[in-house]
């Protein structure tokens, strides 16, 4: 009997679901560890009103791993537009909030939602409580709130979490210890990836893990977070926050981007992340350079199938 490989995927935002949508088609055991630092939109409102961790990133991950009809997926992602208190809320967020209320616990609520959606794998919040993400800028300014950090458009020196006493979920620690492969990203470096690594205990478990550790690098820079960043800059920031180098492999894009798409991104002060391969390899990283993007409606996204296929080759040593 073949033992299924265990994959732990860490992140948030729109990046992590792209990895998971591809991986769920392979015979691997998946655990997704998802940031709970979001404080904007529907998630922020539910977080403040109900005193629960923000459900938005969790919802996106659940949907990406689910096995439901496309219309039900659209239903979960439906966002109300009304003059009432429902305005801005997504139905999926409200369902997670309701299940949290019914079960009396956010993690139990997420688990029940996973059963309803026939999710391939386990979805865990990085912590069973709301987290406030803060940033110290290079000029000494301190900004608190995940949604506020990119808006100040200053160079970030480091990010931190509040409150001081945050506990990782035992299930997350167990999953990391048992993992054969750990992936981070893609997604906003400071506001989607790093909040998970800052949960006390998680970074240490990842660093000590014997699993292969892979960073799926962002394709474009992000204004207010990674302006002018190269691939090695992304890695250096993660190492800085973890306290030591810990990654084995980085996946970067080498697929050309159409000029009209580049022009559209340039208007938002975003540009392709430069791949400084020599520097990455000098730091001991295996660099996998491949076509890993698709463009939909003028927006660049990671190609789920391509990313998953590359990750699976790490098991076979190809």
What confidence tens digit (pLDDT) does each residue in 98-129 have? 999 999 999 999 999 999 999 999 999 998 88
In this structure, whether the domain defined by 5-35+126-316 belongs to CATH 3.40.50.10680 is answered with: yes
Which of the four pLDDT bands, split at 50, 70 and 90, describes residue 318?
Answer: very low
Q: How far apart are CA 10 and CA 15, in angstroms?
A: 10
Which has the closest alpha carbon to 301: 41, 30, 60? 60
Per-domain boundaries in the chain: 5-35+126-316, 39-123
Q: How far apart are CA 38 and CA 171, in angstroms?
A: 21
SS3 (DSSP) at 127: strand
pLDDT, residue 158, reads 97
Q: How far apart are CA 179 and CA 181, in angstroms?
A: 5
Does a cis peptide bond (omega within 30 degrees of 0) precede residue 233? no
DSSP state of 128: S
User: What percentage of the chain reaches a pLDDT higher than 70?
Assistant: 99
> CB of 215 within 8 A of CB of 197?
no
Q: What are the tokens at 300?
A: 């660049």
Instruction: Supply the pTM of this predicted model.
Output: 0.94
What confidence tens digit (pLDDT) does each residue in 255-284 have? 999 999 999 999 999 999 999 999 999 999
pLDDT, residue 178, reads 97
């Amino acid at each position: 009997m073949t033992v299924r490989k265990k994959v732990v995927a860490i992140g948030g935002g729109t990046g992590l679901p792209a990895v998971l949508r591809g991986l769920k088609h392979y015979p691997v055991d998946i655990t997704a560890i998802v940031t709970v630092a979001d404080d904007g939109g529907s998630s922020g409102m539910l977080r403040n009103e109900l005193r629960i961790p923000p459900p938005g990133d969790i919802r996106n991950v659940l949907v990406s791993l689910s096995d439901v009809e496309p219309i039900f997926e659209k239903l979960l992602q439906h966002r109300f537009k009304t003059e009432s208190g429902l305005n801005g809320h997504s139905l999926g967020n409200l369902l997670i909030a309701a299940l949290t209320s019914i079960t009396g616990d956010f993690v139990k609520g997420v688990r029940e939602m996973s059963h309803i959606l026939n999710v391939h794998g386990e979805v865990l919040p990085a912590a069973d409580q709301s987290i406030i993400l803060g940033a110290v800028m290079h000029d000494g300014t301190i900004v608190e709130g995940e949604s506020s950090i990119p808006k100040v458009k200053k160079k970030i020196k480091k990010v931190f979490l509040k409150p001081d006493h945050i506990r990782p979920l035992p299930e997350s620690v167990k999953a990391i210890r048992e993992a054969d492969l750990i992936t981070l990203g893609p997604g906003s470096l400071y506001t989607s990836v790093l909040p998970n690594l800052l949960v006390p205990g998680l970074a240490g478990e990842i660093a000590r893990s014997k699993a292969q550790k892979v960073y799926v690098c962002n394709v474009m820079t992000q204004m207010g977070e990674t302006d002018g960043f190269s691939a090695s800059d992304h890695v250096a920031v993660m190492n800085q926050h973890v306290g030591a180098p810990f990654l084995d492999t980085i996946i970067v894009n080498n697929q050309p981007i159409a000029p009209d798409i580049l022009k559209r991104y340039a208007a938002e002060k975003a540009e392709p992340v430069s791949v400084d391969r020599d520097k990455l390899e000098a730091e001991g990283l295996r660099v996998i350079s491949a076509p890993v993007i698709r463009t939909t409606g003028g927006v660049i996204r990671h190609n789920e199938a391509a990313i998953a296929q590359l990750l699976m080759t790490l098991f076979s040593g190809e």
